[in-house]
Structure 1
Amino acid sequence: MTEPATAPPRIAVSLTRRLDAPPERVFEACTDPRRLVRWLTPGAGELHAAITDLRVGGCFSLEGCDPDGRTYAISGTYRDIVPDRRLVLTWHYEGEGPLRGPPSLVRIDLRPLGPDLTELTLSHTQIDTSESAARYRGAWAICLERLSWSMTPTAPGAVFRSPLGAISPLYGPRHRVFQEEFGTENLANRLRKLSVTSELSAAQKNFIAGRDMVFLTSIDHRGFPTCSYKGGAAGFVRVVDARTLEMPSYDGNGMYLSAGNLAANPKLGLLFVDFERPHRLRLHGTGQVLRDAAALGAHPGAEFVLRIAIAEVFVNCPRYVHRYRRVAPSGFVPGEPRAGEVPAWKRIDAFGDVLPPRDRAALDGSEDGSITLDAYRALLDSGET
């Protein structure tokens, strides 16, 4: 006797978020087409149009493109509507990729927790494959993060905007997994709300103006982060305005890792640390290389200047920052006595035949001759480089 065929079990995804807004504002954001296009767009995709007929039996439709530029459409029917409390609708994704499949069901429940605080629970059920469920979990996490930002009165919008493109909100779905595991999601939301801004305060401007070093991160062509120490005289990172910085690039090892990375992917991170107080400040933004006379004139000794459009600014707790005392500035930064000297490592005989002409000319005019690699290592050990 042949067993009757059974349909494979459907899969469900559920996420809960706390939003800094009353239920009526959240409900409006979930039903008003003008609000939907601000947040219902995961990753770098875009939602171009939204149409809603908000009544039981009414239809909705969404049109957009995914991060790869492929168009998609989502349509469905409202099954249940309780204003400011509940929304149930069918969900049919029509497009390429793993989200394509038979219609599923989305339910949004809103629970008031205070005058301006709402708990939103989104349940997406009847998903046909585990791959689609995993993709939907990540996509909904990003969407709800954007919704959270659109609910925050002090936020600049669903995403940060800069002259060089968009920066996603601070937390992604993988951050949320850890936050949920360790019970810190609400704390993380509060920290983001209270400590993350899109521009520098007066105190933060002064802090940067007093720093003589910064750590710069960029992303290379393989996806690896490149972390570089950058040093100069105090204030070498110039505060142009509350949303813009300029940083000179001095003569270095000739690899141009940071500059090359930023030419391909302008996103960067900066970490300013005061080891004496101690205190630290993080920035995210986008970078652009400048070579014009005005920029170079503002930064003597620079080969080029990195102009940084600020997207996010946030202070970190200095609890684990060790306290050090500043003994002396580097004698090689512009304005210091040894600024014009050829770096000792460029005198290593193994590099003599590959130095650029300017370095070769500088060495030829110097009283210092070439050295061996072992001799350079001895200089490193003695701190004389």
Structure 2
Amino acid sequence: MDPAHMIRDEASLRSLFHATHELAVQKMLGALDTHAQDFISRSPFLCLGTQDGKGRADVSPRGDHVGFVRILDAHTLAIPDRPGNNRLDSLSNIIANPAVGLLFIIPGYDDTLRVNGQATLVTEPELLESMSVNGRAPRLAIVVRVSETFLHCAKAFRRSHLWDPAHRQDRAEMPSLVKMILDQTTGAPDDAEEMRKLDEGLEADYSKSLY
């Protein structure tokens, strides 16, 4: 990439765009109002953005039943940490750098909710027990002290046709998750039956370890 075409300061960036609409500036709130709280209570899915101590960024999906994120007050929310692959990328990042960004998504909604704040990992028994599913409490919760929140318009979802059934892609057009990871690491088996058993093993794990 030619350095002459790289944008390196905000003035150069701003020169490419119209001025920000006043409402787009004013819509940022410092706490969760009734609309933000209602949106969160309806959301079964969010994306969690974190950075490590060296500024290396990461985004992780978090999903559960509708309303799984607990609103503790207008400035605080709690996200249960359900079982995963134990890489602990997001959790390790939060210890190194507590700044987080959340994007709440509701199936069928084209608009989203963005929340920024400072996160803490907590093991408070009463809170964790209140987040139990099928008798299993999470090992910890991510408690976020909200500093900014605002609704985000529908343009990205409209352009992508994300919820439109006519634009859904057939998952069978790509290899299975197990096959792709094995291709990227140790190598996938050539035998189709062996590969099928590995795929079935992952599905069996999903059925047992969601909580």
Q: TM-score, normalised by structure 2?
A: 0.69
Aligned to 2:198: 376
The structure-2 alpha-carbon separation of the partners of 1:195 and 1:298, relative to structure 1 and needing over 3 Å to count, comes to: same
Q: Deviations over 1:161-212 (max 9, x none)?
A: xxxxxxxxxxxx9444311x2143x326x24532111111101101100111
Aligned to 1:177: 12
CA distance in 2, matches of 1:305, 1:380: 26
Matches within 5 A, 1:1-385: 174-179=9-14, 181-184=15-18, 186-187=19-20, 190-300=22-132, 301-321=137-157, 322-324=161-163, 375-377=197-199
CA distance in 2, matches of 1:210, 1:174: 39
Letter in 2 for 1:286: Q
Gaps of 5+ in 1: 1-172, 327-344, 346-370
| Contact 1:217–1:270 (Cα < 8 Å) also in 2 | yes
The structure-2 alpha-carbon separation of the partners of 1:373 and 1:281, relative to structure 1 and needing over 3 Å to count, comes to: same
Gaps of 5+ in 2: 1-7, 166-177, 179-192
> Aligned-pair distance for 1:308?
0.3
> Aligned-pair distance for 1:298?
1.9
| Contact 1:275–1:325 (Cα < 8 Å) also in 2 | no
> Aligned-pair distance for 1:374?
6.1
CA distance in 2, matches of 1:305, 1:234: 17
> Aligned-pair distance for 1:215?
0.4
> Aligned-pair distance for 1:296?
1.0
Letter in 2 for 1:320: A
CA distance in 2, matches of 1:375, 1:221: 40
CA distance in 2, matches of 1:325, 1:248: 30
| Contact 1:199–1:313 (Cα < 8 Å) also in 2 | yes
Aligned to 2:186: none
Q: Deviations over 1:40-80 (max 9, x none)?
A: xxxxxxxxxxxxxxxxxxxxxxxxxxxxxxxxxxxxxxxxx
Name the structure with the higher strand share: 1
Letter in 1 for 2:139: E
> Aligned-pair distance for 1:376?
2.8
Aligned to 1:329: none
The structure-2 alpha-carbon separation of the partners of 1:279 and 1:293, relative to structure 1 and needing over 3 Å to count, comes to: same
CA distance in 2, matches of 1:299, 1:380: 25
Name the structure with the higher helix share: 2
Radius of gyration: which is bigger?
1
Cα RMSD (Å): 2.9
SS in 2 for 1:254: coil
> Aligned-pair distance for 1:275?
3.6
Letter in 1 for 2:20: L
CA distance in 2, matches of 1:254, 1:247: 17
Indicate the structure whose relative CO is greater, using CA pairs within 8 Å and at least 6 residues apart: 2
Letter in 2 for 1:182: L
SS in 1 for 2:39: helix
Letter in 2 for 1:276: G
